[in-house]
Amino acid sequence: MPTSQPPTQPYDDDEISLIELWQILARRKALILACFVLCLAGGAAFAFLKAPVYEASVKLRIGQVKGDDAAPPVMLENAEELSSRILTQYGEDVATGVKRERPFITTASVQKGVTTTVQLTAEGDSPEDAARLLDDVVKGVQKTHTTMFEDNLKPIAERLKSLDEQRTALQQQYADLTQLAEKLKDRDNVQASLLMIERSPITNSLDQQATERLRLSQQMTPPATRPTELIGEITAPAKPSKPKKALVLALAAVLGMMGGVMLAFVAEFVAKAKANAAAKA
Per-residue pLDDT of the chain (281 residues; tens, 9 = 90+): 455 555 554 444 445 678 888 888 888 888 889 999 999 999 899 888 888 999 999 999 999 998 776 678 889 999 999 999 999 999 998 877 888 889 999 999 997 878 899 999 999 999 999 999 999 999 999 999 999 999 988 988 899 999 999 999 999 998 988 888 887 777 777 787 887 888 889 899 999 999 988 888 888 888 889 999 999 899 988 888 888 888 989 999 999 999 989 988 888 888 888 888 888 76
Burial annotation 201-217 (CB, 10 A radius, 16+ → b, else e)? ebeeebeebeeeeeebe
At 10 the three-state DSSP class reads coil
Global pTM value: 0.69
C-alpha torsion sign, points 241, 245, 250, 256: positive
